[in-house]
Amino acid sequence: MKKIYQLSTDEILKELGTSNQGLSTEEASKRLSTNGKNKLDEAKKRHFILRFLDQFKDFMVIVLLVAAAISFIAAILENKMTETFEGVLILAIVVINALLGLMQEAKAEKALESIKKMSAPHATVIRDGKEVVLDVEDIVVGDIIVLQAGDYIPADVRIIQSVNLKADESALTGEPVPVEKITDAIHKDEVPLGDRVNLGFMSTVVTYGRGLAVVTSVGMQTEIGKIAEMLSNTETEETPLQKSIAQLGKTLAIIAFIIVGVIFAIQIITALVKGVSPDWLEAFMSSVALAVAAIPEGLPAIITIVLSLGMTNLVKQRAIMRTLPAVETLGSTSIICSDKTGTLTQNVMTITDTYLYQQNDKVSDLKSVEGSLKKLVDFGVLCNDTKVRVKDDKFLKIGDPTEIALTDLAINTGFNPLDILANFPRVHELPFDSNRKLMTTVHEIDGKFVSITKGAPDIVLSRSVSYEVNGHVETINDKVSNVYLTENNNMADRALRVLAVAYKVFDKNTDITKLLHTELENDLTMLGLVGMIDPARPEVKDAIVETKRAGITTIMITGDHKNTAVAIATELGILENGHLAITGKELDQMSDEEFDAKLSQIRVYARVSPENKVRIVTAWKKTGLIVAMTGDGVNDAPSIKKADIGIAMGITGTEVAKGAADMILTDDNFATIVGAVSEGRAIFANIKKAIHFLLSCNIGEIVTILLGVTLGLALFPNVENLVILSAVQILWVNLVTDSFMAIAIGLDPKEPDIMNYPPRDNSKSIFADGLGFRIGWQGIMIGSLTFAAFFIGYNIAPADHELIHAQTLTFMVLSISQLFHSFNVRSEKYSIFQLKPNKYLIMAFFGCLALQLVTVFVPAIAENVFKVDDVHYWRFIDWMVVIGLSITPLVVVEIQKLIKRFLNK
């Protein structure tokens, strides 16, 4: 049997039961349901039970389980059945915590998955004779795929049409040079993968040209599927912050164990010194509880959940983030390198001016279009990939706005572009690419081949040897060149994008399709120029003002002419006095040292190549600032990858650019980038708030216990086995109420002035800038107030209830003061009355307060589970003490913020 590459294109179409018109939708869905989706196998999702058990792998959880078991066994051995509650409760808390963890994980995962779907690759497929854009997964064997530069080849295919089609197959073969693709059958037997030049392979990239291909195999049957049993990366990447928090957790664990050991020893020794028998079990349990209190075990999960919720929010703002670490970095963006066309401008081009040698016309004033001007109009339609159709007497156009503008020029001057296209069929072409900044098509005109080249005027001119004037062709000289260049500059100064159109005539005998770039795009005859306006997006001006306030520098990087770029950059406020605009060529001539010295002044780069873009990102990254860079073409992938935040255009971007990006803009708009940065800042701020809350509460708990074993022993020397908080109580506060509050804090609304500050310095620890200090003093305050509750509670207790009453008030103050404290972390300087209310936090506050009150209002629970005085033992004074001490952190921090705001004025 013949191999696929040995078959002719007709044979392969026949064999696969398809044609140039593609499959019918019906047939395709039949094939999809029998053969399955076009995707590589993913790692199987772990079963719910396994994932639940995963939660128990955590060291802290194991310690708790051991503690629960010991307390359970001890209670049974001592035959005190009521004591078994403690073990049961610890177990319950651990299970609740694991469930909470699992739910959060599932929620974050779901958010990530749905976002992943949004950025899933697409391909253009011919079905029922029409081009449709499909999810790559829905492609079946026999589908006809339309390929163009910047596409990933979505399955294994046989090429059936190639117009200079080239593919980068390095992902598969390791060969870095793009392979030229052909349609002819290869009549050899064993051809290695890299030499099967009439085939295309899944996950390789079309770098140049365009073509058609028929799908020969999908999913795991493809070459890439065969070599990779499991390619898709299912591991979720940890963000730098998650890593450093995990590290912090480990350090705290070590410290906690030392403290625990010391406290355990103190408890035992004091008991021995006093001559009473030590309560080993209680000492052990409270040490375990202290260890739990010290380690912020919930933090990594909270960070993930805040990041993934933020990601979901960003989608609503038209920015799709592709990785969690990027969401974290986003807020510290200092430099935004943005394309001009379509991102800063509307990408709605209208030709306003035409220019033939020394003849400048405004399109709106054109009376008659004939001679060379008609030729300019015709050539603009011919050297053009716009798809034109007529519907309801109107022309429908799909294509690149620059080219649509040329088609519109014909329509607006009274010609039918479809007639022009039909009269002069295209026989060959060299597609546009942003490196050459040229495009060429060859047509049969009046019995000759005419190649039409359009592109950047400076480049077209440099390749022209003659020019057309009054219908004659004359040799070009420097003077004439300068006339064209001056006109080009004049138009560009008016923010117009200028294209030049030139041509070259070949004899009919020429083997035209074999001609190379050098032959087709040299020795041209200059015909004329067109100038088109592409207005700035109205919202961009405000966005630029916002970036300036936020200490972010915007840099324009464009393939367009310098003068056009300068005009628009000036209008938008990107380029101001003292700033520089340079071209890619000027950049090429600079040494790295020169470039570094000027870097901060340069705000506009014009006529850049993709390599220039990489150099610009690299230079900025060297300064340590976080750089965002936009791109759309296949050649932009390296700079997008290199940037800290690579941004691809959702509408005009190629699949390759999207694949390389961290963020995809669904509206291609610069203002969206700025909005996303502000959202990124808010997300980071919320993570910081959650860290602030959890760590200060942890410190509060540690301080309480430390004060208990030091000051407590000194103040109450006669109390046997003094324990100011039981293990169950600490675990309750730490693992139940705190978790809910922290999530609610993570959902805090954006602070109003979040874009009034310079970006945060990513190299600094998040605890710099005073966060560490605030966590410290506020934690100590909570701990001291809680200890005060013990002291007061002991002294105002009903007779014979001293210790339990003191413990009751301690437990209540520890928990409720943290609930109040949660409002403190919402802002460093604003009063809670100045901030937009956080409804989640308010709900969590009342929910947790209710849970806390249950512990004293339900006598059975109070007595058996938490071992506290139920409300029957409470008097008015007790309530006053609890409320007064619990609310103190809020009052103190509010006063401190008031002073801060006053001093800042």
Q: How many residues does the chain have?
A: 905
The span from the CA of 841 to the CA of 213, in Å, is 56
Least distance in Å: CB of 658 to ligand ATP? 16
Residue in 570, 582, 513 with CA at minimum distance from that of residue 544: 570
Would you give the binding string for ligand ATP spanning residues 479-498, x where CB under 6 A is met?
------------------x-
The span from the CA of 766 to the CA of 248, in Å, is 12
Q: DSSP assignment of 346-382, as one string?
A: ----EEEEEEETTEEEEGGG-----HHHHHHHHHHHH
- Does the footprint of ligand ATP cover residue 454 (CB under 6 A)? yes
- Does the footprint of ligand ATP cover residue 778 (CB under 6 A)? no
3-class DSSP assignment, residue 26: helix
Least distance in Å: CB of 446 to ligand ATP? 24
- Does the footprint of ligand ATP cover residue 463 (CB under 6 A)? no
Instruction: Looking at residues 149 to 188 of the shown chain, list those that interact with ligand ATP (rule: CB under 6 A).
Output: none
Residues whose CB falls within 8 Å of the CB of residue 797, separated by 6 or more in sequence, listed in order = 804, 805, 806
* Cα 269 → chain centroid: 56
List the alpha helices (DSSP H) in 732-801. 738-746, 771-796
Least distance in Å: CB of 531 to ligand ATP? 11
- Pick the piece of the chain touching ligand ATP (CB under 6 A) from 293-301, 450-458, 784-792, 858-866: 450-458
Question: Which residue among 559, 700, 779, 783 contacts ligand ATP (CB under 6 A)?
Answer: 559
Question: Which residue among 499, 660, 725, 856 contacts ligand ATP (CB under 6 A)?
Answer: 499
Least distance in Å: CB of 180 to ligand ATP? 22
Residues whose CB falls within 8 Å of the CB of residue 640, separated by 6 or more in sequence, listed in order = 629, 630, 631, 646, 647, 648, 657, 660, 661
Question: Which residue among 90, 214, 302, 456 contacts ligand ATP (CB under 6 A)?
Answer: 456
Q: Are 628 and 333 in contact (CB under 8 A)?
A: yes
Least distance in Å: CB of 667 to ligand ATP? 15
How would you classify the pairing of strands 350-356 and 359-362? antiparallel
Least distance in Å: CB of 347 to ligand ATP? 8
- Does the footprint of ligand ATP cover residue 675 (CB under 6 A)? no
The span from the CA of 350 to the CA of 682, in Å, is 40
- Does the footprint of ligand ATP cover residue 429 (CB under 6 A)? no
Least distance in Å: CB of 471 to ligand ATP? 25
Measured on CA atoms in the order 405, 410, 412, 416, is the torsion positive or negative?
A: negative
Question: Which residue among 105, 339, 655, 679 contacts ligand ATP (CB under 6 A)?
Answer: 339
3-class DSSP assignment, residue 145: strand
The span from the CA of 635 to the CA of 54, in Å, is 43
Indicate which residues carry an active-site annotation.
339
- Pick the piece of the chain touching ligand ATP (CB under 6 A) from 220-228, 371-379, 559-567, 868-876: 559-567
- Does the footprint of ligand ATP cover residue 503 (CB under 6 A)? no
Question: Which residue among 308, 372, 451, 558 contacts ligand ATP (CB under 6 A)?
Answer: 558
Tokens of 185: 């059958």
Total residues at interface with ligand ATP (CB under 6 A): 19
- Does the footprint of ligand ATP cover residue 555 (CB under 6 A)? no
- Does the footprint of ligand ATP cover residue 635 (CB under 6 A)? no
Question: Which residue among 67, 68, 290, 439 contacts ligand ATP (CB under 6 A)?
Answer: 439
Q: DSSP assignment of 835-874, as one string?
A: SPP-HHHHHHHHHHHHHHHHHHHSHHIIIIII----GGG-
Name the residue nearer to ligand ATP (CB basis): 347 or 734.
347
Name the residue nearer to ligand ATP (CB basis): 441 or 815.
441
Cα dihedral value 703, 708, 710, 716, nearest 10: 150
* Cα 253 → chain centroid: 33
Full 3-state SS string of 80-109: CHHHHHHHHHHHHHHHHHHHHHHHHHHHHH
- Pick the piece of the chain touching ligand ATP (CB under 6 A) from 270-278, 487-495, 542-550, 552-560: 552-560
- Does the footprint of ligand ATP cover residue 341 (CB under 6 A)? yes
88: how many CB neighbours lie within 10 A of its CB?
A: 16
Q: Are 716 and 722 in contact (CB under 8 A)?
A: yes
- Does the footprint of ligand ATP cover residue 308 (CB under 6 A)? no
Name the residue nearer to ligand ATP (CB basis): 454 or 897.
454
- For ligand ATP, the nearest residue by Cβ is 559
Residue 723: C-alpha distances to residues 3, 698, 890 (Å): 81, 18, 27
The span from the CA of 246 to the CA of 651, in Å, is 39
- Pick the piece of the chain touching ligand ATP (CB under 6 A) from 9-17, 68-76, 204-212, 554-562: 554-562
- Does the footprint of ligand ATP cover residue 340 (CB under 6 A)? yes
Name the residue nearer to ligand ATP (CB basis): 405 or 735.
405
Question: Which residue among 35, 236, 434, 489 contacts ligand ATP (CB under 6 A)?
Answer: 434
Q: Please provide the distance, in angstroms rounded to a whole number, between the alpha carbons at the two ends of the chain.
A: 85
Name the residue nearer to ligand ATP (CB basis): 125 or 582.
582
- Does the footprint of ligand ATP cover residue 437 (CB under 6 A)? yes
Name the residue nearer to ligand ATP (CB basis): 245 or 349.
349
- Pick the piece of the chain touching ligand ATP (CB under 6 A) from 227-235, 277-285, 398-406, 770-778: 398-406
Least distance in Å: CB of 660 to ligand ATP? 16
Name the residue nearer to ligand ATP (CB basis): 196 or 561.
561
Name the residue nearer to ligand ATP (CB basis): 127 or 340.
340
Name the residue nearer to ligand ATP (CB basis): 223 or 403.
403
Residue in 578, 575, 545 with CA at minimum distance from that of residue 558: 575
- Does the footprint of ligand ATP cover residue 790 (CB under 6 A)? no
Please name the amino acid found at residue 447: G
Name the residue nearer to ligand ATP (CB basis): 283 or 383.
383
Name the residue nearer to ligand ATP (CB basis): 212 or 557.
557
- Pick the piece of the chain touching ligand ATP (CB under 6 A) from 64-72, 338-346, 474-482, 586-594: 338-346
Run of H or E including 453: strand 448-455
3-class DSSP assignment, residue 833: coil
Would you give the binding string for ligand ATP spanning residues 57-86, x where CB under 6 A is met?
------------------------------
Name the residue nearer to ligand ATP (CB basis): 515 or 604.
604
Least distance in Å: CB of 542 to ligand ATP? 20
- Pick the piece of the chain touching ligand ATP (CB under 6 A) from 449-457, 664-672, 730-738, 768-776: 449-457
Name the residue nearer to ligand ATP (CB basis): 296 or 455.
455
CA angle 883, 887, 888 (to 5 degrees): 120
- Does the footprint of ligand ATP cover residue 751 (CB under 6 A)? no
Q: Are 497 and 537 in contact (CB under 8 A)?
A: no
3-class DSSP assignment, residue 309: helix
- Pick the piece of the chain touching ligand ATP (CB under 6 A) from 354-362, 434-442, 469-477, 896-904: 434-442
- Does the footprint of ligand ATP cover residue 403 (CB under 6 A)? yes
The span from the CA of 293 to the CA of 701, in Å, is 6
The span from the CA of 709 to the CA of 696, in Å, is 20
Least distance in Å: CB of 618 to ligand ATP? 18
Run of H or E including 804: helix 802-824
- Contact set with ligand ATP (CB under 6 A): 339-341, 400, 402-403, 432, 434, 437, 439, 454-456, 497, 499, 558-561
